[in-house]
């Protein structure tokens, strides 16, 4: 991975030694942030700081390049998808830039390049381009992403993850793991827009049907207070909001934030059709 690091150029030089972290010592780099990366099956991180006009990054402008290696490309995408806000840039397989931070994913890697000042945009993008060129391969997107309908999907609103701690951050449901999420579950959370109404879809793929059924029952009992039934899967909760919970084979489908029954049903039908067809065109 050290081969992926840019040389610098245009007055920018490496500042200090390259740092390398693995699963055992990532906490030394980011303490409580490490769990985020570990939840995406993090393998290795290299960090190199750059400075202009001085070899000491603490003086003057500095740029930090971080390259995270995950175990799989879907997880690299998942880590990227954790926050996709920003200006889209054509780097890696998908990239965003904003306020001095460039982030893109490619193959099994997530690349973060952070400048000490927002006005370092050109240099940051140039360094990002260097890294992009050096990572030769490309990786597959999460399969789950191909299984949701693209019509009405709000661009860049999707988040791919596995575990409860990620769901808690993205859309808090409970302090307890009521969906029985583990590193073996694939989850996709995404927003869909319908006539000014934004619905949130949570699609969870369990290893088998029995685990999906258990999760459905757990959610119905603990979140919906047992109010969902075979005949009516939409439950009206607080603030007039509708929640729908359904199963399709080993997939659990949950829709939140609805206010119109027809629209909620429309989204659920659309997702089920998409699953039935084995997915639609990938992003």
Partner 1 sequence: MKKKEEKTLDTIITRRDFMRGTALGTLGLTLGLFDVESLAIPPPVAEKRGDSTEPVKSRTVLIRNQKVLGDGNVVDKKILADMLDKGMMGFAETKDAASAWKEFFHPSDVVGVKINLMVTPTHDELIELIVENLLGIGIKDENIFVWDRDQIGVGKKEMFSRPRRFGFDKDHLNKVVKKCTALINVPGMKSHWLSGVALSIKNWAGAVNNARVYHTEDCCSSLGELCTIPQIKAKNRLIIMDALRPLFHGGPSVDPKYLWNYNGLIIGKDHAAADTIALKVIQRQRSRYKREEWMISPPPLHVALADMRYKVGTSDLRLIDLVKLGWQKDALI
> What mask of x and - would describe binding to partner 1 in positions 179 to 208, judged by CB under 8 A?
------------------------------
Contact pick of 13, 101, 265, 280 for partner 1 (by CB under 8 A): 101
Contact pick of 122, 175, 195, 230 for partner 1 (by CB under 8 A): 175
Contact pick of 195, 239, 278, 281 for partner 1 (by CB under 8 A): 239
Closest distance to partner 1 from the beta carbon of 169 (Å): 5
Taking CB under 8 A as the binding criterion, the range among 121-129, 132-140, 141-149, 163-171 that sits at the site for partner 1 is 163-171
Q: Determine the Cα–Cα distance for residues 113 and 123; give it in Å rounded to an integer.
A: 10
Q: Is 24 in the site for partner 1 (CB under 8 A)?
A: no
Which lies closer to partner 1 via its Cβ, residue 39 or residue 275?
39
Q: Strand pairing partners for 245? A: 254
Residue 79's nearest CA partner among 29, 25, 42, 26 is 42
Taking CB under 8 A as the binding criterion, the range among 145-153, 158-166, 203-211, 266-274 that sits at the site for partner 1 is 158-166
Contact pick of 10, 17, 24, 32 for partner 1 (by CB under 8 A): 32
Helix (H, G, I), strand (E, B) or coil at 123: helix
Query: What is the distance of C-alpha 139 from the center of its chain?
Result: 15
274: tokens are 């998409």
Contact pick of 9, 11, 53, 118 for partner 1 (by CB under 8 A): 118
Is the Cβ–Cβ distance between 231 and 209 less than 8 Å?
no
Q: Is 122 in the site for partner 1 (CB under 8 A)?
A: no
Q: Is 222 in the site for partner 1 (CB under 8 A)?
A: yes
- Residue 82: how many CB atoms within 10 A of its CB? 17
Helix (H, G, I), strand (E, B) or coil at 90: coil
249 CB burial (10 A radius; 0-12, 13-18, 19+): exposed
Q: Is 54 in the site for partner 1 (CB under 8 A)?
A: no
Helix (H) or strand (E) holding 161: strand 159-161
Helix (H, G, I), strand (E, B) or coil at 162: coil
Binding site for partner 1 (CB under 8 A): 27-28, 30-33, 35-36, 83, 85-86, 98-101, 112, 114, 117-118, 163-165, 168-178, 222-223, 237-239, 241
């Amino acid at each position: 991975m050290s081969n992926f690091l840019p040389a610098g150029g245009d007055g920018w030089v490496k500042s200090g030694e390259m740092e390398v972290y693995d699963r055992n010592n990532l906490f030394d780099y980011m303490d409580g942030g490490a769990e985020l990366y570990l939840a995406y099956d993090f393998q290795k991180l290299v960090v190199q700081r750059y400075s202009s006009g001085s070899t000491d990054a603490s003086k003057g402008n500095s740029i930090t390049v971080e390259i995270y290696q995950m175990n799989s490309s879907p997880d690299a995408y998942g880590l990227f998808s954790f926050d996709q806000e920003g200006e889209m840039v054509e780097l890696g397989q998908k990239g965003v830039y904003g306020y001095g931070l460039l982030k893109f994913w490619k193959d099994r890697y997530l690349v973060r390049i952070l400048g000490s000042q927002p006005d370092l945009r050109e240099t940051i993008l140039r360094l990002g381009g260097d890294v992009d060129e050096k990572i030769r391969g490309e990786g597959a997107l999460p399969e789950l992403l191909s299984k949701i309908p693209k019509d009405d999907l709000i661009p860049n609103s999707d988040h791919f993850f596995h575990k409860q701690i990620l769901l808690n951050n993205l859309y808090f449901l409970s302090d307890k793991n009521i969906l029985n999420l583990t590193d073996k579950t694939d989850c996709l959370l995404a927003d869909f827009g319908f006539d000014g109404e934004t619905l949130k879809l949570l699609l969870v793929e369990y290893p088998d049907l029995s685990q999906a059924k258990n999760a459905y029952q757990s959610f119905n009992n603990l979140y919906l207070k047992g109010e969902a039934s075979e005949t009516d899967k939409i439950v009206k909760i607080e603030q007039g909001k509708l929640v729908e919970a359904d199963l399709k084979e080993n997939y659990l489908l949950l829709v939140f934030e609805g206010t119109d029954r027809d629209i909620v049903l429309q989204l659920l039908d659309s997702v089920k059709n998409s699953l039935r067809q084995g997915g639609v065109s990938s992003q």
